[in-house]
Chain A
Amino acid sequence: MTAGAIWVLLTIIAELSFTSLNIFGDAASEQGEFIDDAFVLLMLLAIPILTFVITMIGYVFFKFRAKGDELEDSAPTRTHTKWVGFWLIWTTVLCLVVIVHPGYTGLLEIRQTSAEEPDLTVNVTGRRWQWMYEYEGRGVQLLMKDDTLVLPNHSLIRFNITAEDQDVIHSFWIPAFRMKIDAVPGLTTYMDVNTTEIGHFNDDVNFRVQCAELCGKDHSLMFTRVEVVEPAEFEQWITNR
């Protein structure tokens, strides 16, 4: 009873303090919002398990310690069918729940090629240690390490990603969108993103393309600044280039 009360209390405190924190900042894409929600949900499910283990450890240490150096044995309980059954059921149910949501729902949201035509397709090539971009059909290329990758807000953007033939594996990651996929020599991967927020690297460091797969010497510095602007502004930018 006491242990149960402590557990419930601890859980409530932990859940409330977690939900009152906004650890991420806002995601700038629909996929990112889904991922943040999934993270929060998994956290809310994980906290009661952690507090249960903490409560149990604290309680048994407090309550069931042998006094002094006495060497008395405990009652020889070997198993308890109902508890084992209960344990198996709740772990299985919880497992199935997260497989369905955010598991399969997440697959549909994130790794499903969108049926719609993308508003913008960007072909991305990685090489040690920079990214290069081509706005497909728009006649714009960004080939310098210092270029800023400008993207339109409220648009479906498809990135087709690869790495140069004699190069190594990189990973194309935009933390603000929460999305990444590897850039593999000899293979073209893709990533669909629906942008939802405007932003600029200078205000939020997560607006950057960061290489996330170790690629040698300057791996840490292999990033591009990202700016998400309103569509009209984006069209103007394209024209100016």
Chain B
Amino acid sequence: MILVGILILLIGASLLCSVRAVLGPTAPDRVVAFDALTSLMVTVLVILGVLYEASFFLDVALVYAMLAFLGTLAIAKYLEGRRVGD
């Protein structure tokens, strides 16, 4: 029961993060918001896997965390070479 409450809190937090991802004035703002959003989604996947007693959700969460980290590093490397206007 408490896990459902925590799930609702996490989904509310990810809604706030997605508002920042839409609003964010520059590209690094959006990258930060998406980084937080993927971390929250990893937690949501773990709690869903525990609630449904399906262990493969946790494997999906681990792979998703790794791919999100790689994506963050790739976008940071891409942004490093350009100025903010273009």
- Does A pair with B? no
> Which residues does B use to contact A, with CB under 8 Å?
none
